[in-house]
Amino acid sequence: MRIEKLINELLKKEQEAFLVTNMKNIRYLTGFTGDAGKLLIMPDKQYLIVDGRFTEQAEKQCSIEVVDYDKSFIKTINKLAQSHNVKKCAFEGNNITFNEFDTLKKNLENIELVSDDTTIETIRMKKDKEEIEKVKHALKIALETFEEIKTNIVPGVTEKEVATEIEYTMKRKGAEGISFETIVASGKRSSLPHGTATDKKIEFGDAVVIDMGAIYDGYCSDITRTIFVGDMTREQEKVYEIVEKAQQKGINAIKAGVSCSEPHNLVVDEFAKDNLAEYFVHSLGHGVGMDVHERPFLSPKSSDVFEPGMIVTVEPGIYLPDNFGIRIEDMVMIEE
Ligand SMILES: [Mn+2]
Question: What is the distance in A from the centroid of ligand 1 to the CA of 246?
Answer: 16
Question: What is the distance in A from the centroid of ligand 1 to the CA of 327?
Answer: 10
Question: What is the distance in A from the centroid of ligand 1 to the CA of 80?
Answer: 41
- Please give the pLDDT value at position 1: 83
What is the rounded distance in angstroms from the CA atom of residue 209 to the CA atom of residue 183? 7
What is the rounded distance in angstroms from the CA atom of residue 124 to the CA atom of residue 118? 10
Question: What is the distance in A from the centroid of ligand 1 to the CA of 34?
Answer: 27
Question: What is the distance in A from the centroid of ligand 1 to the CA of 72?
Answer: 39
What is the rounded distance in angstroms from the CA atom of residue 130 to the CA atom of residue 132? 6
Instruction: Tell me the Ramachandran region of residue 161: left when phi exceeds 0, alpha when psi lies from -120 to 50, beta otherwise.
Output: alpha
CA distances from 296 to 146, 194, 315 (A): 26, 21, 14
If residue 16 lies in a helix (H) or strand (E), which one and from where to where?
Answer: none
Question: What is the distance in A from the centroid of ligand 1 to the CA of 210?
Answer: 11
Question: What is the distance in A from the centroid of ligand 1 to the CA of 285?
Answer: 6
Closest listed residue to residue 29, CA positions, set 97, 37, 235: 37
Burial class from Cβ neighbours inside 10 Å (0-12, 13-18, 19+) for residue 4 reads exposed
**Cis previous bond, 321, omega within 30:** no
What is the rounded distance in angstroms from the CA atom of residue 101 to the CA atom of residue 158? 46
Question: What is the distance in A from the centroid of ligand 1 to the CA of 330?
Answer: 8
Question: What is the distance in A from the centroid of ligand 1 to the CA of 305?
Answer: 19
Phi, psi of 235 (to 5 degrees): -65, -45
Q: Write out pLDDT tens, residues 35-84.
A: 999 999 999 999 999 999 999 999 999 999 999 999 999 999 999 999 99
If residue 129 lies in a helix (H) or strand (E), which one and from where to where?
Answer: helix 129-149
> Positive or negative, the Cα torsion across 268, 271, 276, 280?
negative
- Please give the pLDDT value at position 50: 97
Give, in degrees to the nearest 5, the angle at Cα 163 between 160 and 166: 150
For the chain, which residues score pLDDT lower than 70?
none
Question: What is the distance in A from the centroid of ligand 1 to the CA of 222?
Answer: 5
Closest listed residue to residue 83, CA positions, set 39, 47, 38, 32: 47
Question: What is the distance in A from the centroid of ligand 1 to the CA of 193?
Answer: 11
Question: What is the distance in A from the centroid of ligand 1 to the CA of 221?
Answer: 9
What is the rounded distance in angstroms from the CA atom of residue 151 to the CA atom of residue 147? 8
Question: What is the distance in A from the centroid of ligand 1 to the CA of 162?
Answer: 19
CA distances from 38 to 2, 43, 69, 118 (A): 17, 16, 9, 18
- Please give the pLDDT value at position 147: 98
Question: What is the distance in A from the centroid of ligand 1 to the CA of 114?
Answer: 32
Virtual CA dihedral for 284, 289, 291, 296, nearest 10 degrees?
Answer: -40
What is the rounded distance in angstroms from the CA atom of residue 281 to the CA atom of residue 321? 11
Question: What is the distance in A from the centroid of ligand 1 to the CA of 280?
Answer: 14
Question: What is the distance in A from the centroid of ligand 1 to the CA of 320?
Answer: 19
Question: What is the distance in A from the centroid of ligand 1 to the CA of 184?
Answer: 14
288 within 8 A of 332, measured Cβ to Cβ: no
- Please give the pLDDT value at position 215: 98
pTM of the model: 0.94
Question: What is the distance in A from the centroid of ligand 1 to the CA of 229?
Answer: 23
Question: What is the distance in A from the centroid of ligand 1 to the CA of 251?
Answer: 14
Phi, psi of 188 (to 5 degrees): -65, -25
Q: How many residues does the chain have?
A: 336
What is the rounded distance in angstroms from the CA atom of residue 289 to the CA atom of residue 124? 8
